[in-house]
Structure 1
Amino acid sequence: MQNDVRKEPGAVRKMTRAPPMNLPSDEAAAQGSSMGAVVLGEVTALRLVWEQMKWSRALLILLGLTIFWTASLFIAPLTIAPNTFAFTLGGANVVDHWNLYQGAAFNWYAKVIYTVGDAQCHQLWYRSLWINGNQFPIDARMTSLYIFGAFGLFWAMMTQPAASASRGIANAFPPRIQRWAEKVGVEKFAVLVVFLGILPVGIDGFTQLFQAVTQYESTNAVRILTGVPGGLVAGLLLGMMVKAIKQFDVEYRSMRFRAPVPSLDKE
């Protein structure tokens, strides 16, 4: 018998395939679509906010000036050397430190900001905030009032306009509170809101004013806290007054447009 002859096995070749293309999965595509929708929604929301902000140009300008002034309260002390304006005493509604502002230590920007602040504030060093070794141009309470007054103006911008400031203030609150305001009267409601907003400032300020009798001196923390509601309602009231003027003009123009033109009878 012949032996079986077997051939040696040849080398095994591996069949290689081209790697699959990195195509985006359904999950990645969905995630990208979701992110795009979020970005689009945010852009749309910002556009709506901007439309509301520029509805009244006068109010937009007022907000811009308030933000500039409030920022300057922090920036001006940084533009002068430390201890240039420190430990001062003065009276309200009068410029007490004009000679100091005329010195070479004050640049034109700080000179303007501190002079305007001096005209409206007594600038007592122990009632002021400090930065860079200098007092702020106005005291802590007024600084707080301006900061939150800007927020109050923005609050008014985001509120539905009305032909009266009272109705506008009521519109600034949720529907449930608006319904209650209509029951008691929007004028009374607006007066109540403003009164409650400035009440903390009045109590703290007047108690301190008569400290010869009350023996009370407030603190900067209390001055700042009482300025929060006061600034908010002051900004809201001022903003709604400006918007009421614009809304009245809009309604007046609309009435004139819809009014029928009288015809002249021909003889």
Structure 2
Amino acid sequence: MMSENTNYIRVAKAIEYISQNFKEQPSLSEIAEHIHLSQAHFQRVFTAWAGISPKKFLQYISLEHAKSILKNNKENSVLDAAFDTGLSSISRLHDLFIQIEGMSPAEYKNGGESLQIHYSFSETRFGLIIIASTAKGICHMAFTENHEDAFSQLQAQFPNAKFVQQENELQRKAMSIFQLNPNNLSEIKLHLKGTEFQLKVWESLLKIPMGELTTYSAIAKGIGNNKACRAVGTAIGSNPVAFLIPCHRVIQSSGHIGGYMWGTTRKTAIIGWEGAKTHATDSD
């Protein structure tokens, strides 16, 4: 049986092809041929991965979809609505509550000295991921291609911490977000280090509902600084916990997907999958 990671690699190749050729609306056979699978096999793999057909999924990853979301809502409407009603409003993750607790100045200065950090690796539908936690909460989560590079990057963030490769309950709760079943999500705590501005930006990202997108300028306006678009982009690019803090839901005002620390193909896949899942839930 194919693993989620193996399926994602194949689906990612298909998504890259679709993203480059969406104006021609490639057929199922053309996409399947590009990734060297039969139509039937590709249909099965893709549908098992996304829970929706390749044709339907295409609607949610095209640039026109991103543009239409912004066009059909006055700028900031999605973000403003989330700010007004909080995390328990229109978000599909309405039972997920995330607490941000910044590290102390001493922990900053000492590079994580006295911290014991547990970390583990897991396969997700979007690829291999490393997740790490302190006694207070999740401190790091990132997509990766190999274990060694991922651990080196974790060590670079906390050079004086003690590391233990071991999964714990905090990590298991956090990984449940990939199932996107609000009824099974428990409270997930984050233990993050960041400037006051970064924490404010990251907190605002938590309020973007699943299946919705916003822009860098909307985030800047939402935190009360219209001219801080570049700084907002930098803070979003420094997000230390992939997916849990949904920086993938922020795109350019033009409707283009924009950059992503863990690759634009992965960002496109996540946006499309969330959009498809949200649409499927709404249709139930």
User: When the two structures are superposed, what TM-score results if normalisation uses the length of structure 2?
Assistant: 0.25
Q: Which has the higher strand share?
A: 2
Q: Which has the higher helix share?
A: 1
Larger radius of gyration: 1
Q: Greater RCO between the two (CA within 8 Å, min separation 6)?
A: 2
